[in-house]
Amino acid sequence: MSRSRGFFQACTAIVICVLVAEFTAAMAKTAILITVDQSGRGNFTKIQNAIDAVPDNNLEEVFIAVKPGIYREKVTVPANKPYITISGRRSSDTIITWNDSRNTYNSATLAVLASDFVGRYLTIQNGFGAGAQAVALRVSGDRVSFTACRFLGHQDTLLDDIGRHYYKSCYIEGATDFICGNGASLFENCHLHSVSDSVGTITAQRRESPSENTGFVFMGCKITGINSAVLGRPWGAFSRVVFGFTYMSDVILPEGWDNWQDPSKQSTVYYGQYRCYGKGANPSRRVPWSFSNMTTQEAAPFFSKTFIGAAHWLRPLPTNFKRAFASKP
C-alpha cells in the first residue's frame, strides 16, 4: 500500500468518525415528547401508561414530561425500553408514591430495568415505613442518571442494584441500609439523611469479589440525621464504599463503619474516607480496618466520572421535540 493511499484511508476514517459523532449528537438533541398530566390535558394521566406506549427495543430518545401532582402508582421501566427520560419541573411537586413491602427486589415504587434512562426533578417515595424492605427506587439498568431527585423511604430506600449510575444533587432519606446494592455508582453533591430511631445504616454495598468493578462513591455530599448512624456495612464480602469532600454531621458515630456481625469481612471490604469534614468526619476513631485517611494517590481512581465511565454515556438534554401522539389514548 502506498503512503498516499494509506493517508487517504486514514483521513476518510477520521471524517467518518466525525460525521458519526455529529450525527449521534444531533440525534441526542431531538426527542419524542410525551406529556403526563393528571388533569387530562396531556397524552396520558398515568406515568406507567406513557412508558407502555414506548415501542419495545426503542432506539429513539423519549422525553416524558410529568406535570405537577401526586402520582399514586407503581412504575416499571422494562429492560426492552431504553432511552427514556422522565422529568418533572420540581421534585417537591412531582411525586411518585406507593407503599409496597414484598421484598427488596419487588417492592420498588419505581423500578428502572432499562439502560440509558434519565430521571429529573422527581420525588420517588415508598411510604410503607419501618418493619420491612420497602424500596422507593430500584436501578437495574446500565448508564442511568438521576438529577435533583428525592428518594424517600425507611429500609432499602435506594436499591442501586447493578450497572453504572450517576446521581447529582439528589436527596436520599432512610434508616436501614438505605443505599444498597452492587452498582458502580457516583453520588455527587447529594444529601443523605438518616431517620433511624436508633442507629441508622447509610450504605450496604454488595460487591462479592475483588474482580467486580463496583462500589459507591460519594463526592461533595452532605450527611445529616435525627439520631446516630454508621456510614455502611457489608452486604457483600468485598463491599466497597468511599466518601470524599463530604460534610458529616455528628450523626455519624466515631467508628464510622459496622462489620454486620461478621469479622471475617473486615479483611476484604474497602471503606475509605478522603478530605471529609464536620464533627462526624474525624478519622482518628474510625475502625482500624477502614481507610480513614486515604492518600491522594489512593483517592484518585474514585473521585471523578471516570470511575463510572460517564464521559461515554452521560448525554445532554434534548433541545428539540417532536410529538408522538395526535390525541389522547
Q: Is 41 exposed, middle or buried (0-12, 13-18, 19+ CB in 10 A)?
A: exposed
Residue among 116, 142, 156, 258 flagged as catalytic: 156
Q: Report CA-CA distances (Å) from 104 to 121, 142, 156, 222, 282.
A: 24, 19, 7, 26, 33
Catalytic choice (116, 142, 160, 177): 177
Q: Is 261 left (phi over 0), alpha (psi -120 to 50) or beta?
A: left
The answer to whether the CB of 73 falls within 8 A of the CB of 46 is: yes
The yes-or-no answer on residue 116 being catalytic is: no
Question: Are 229 and 200 contacting, i.e. CB atoms less than 8 angstroms apart?
Answer: yes
- The verdict on whether 258 is a catalytic residue reads no
- From the list 217, 96, 92, 85, the residue with the least C-alpha distance to 145 is 85
The three three-digit cell numbers of residue 288, written as one number: 482500624
Cβ proximity of 195 and 154 under 8 Å: yes
With CA atoms as reference, report the closest residue to 188 among 169, 202, 173. 169
Q: Which residues are catalytic?
A: 156, 177
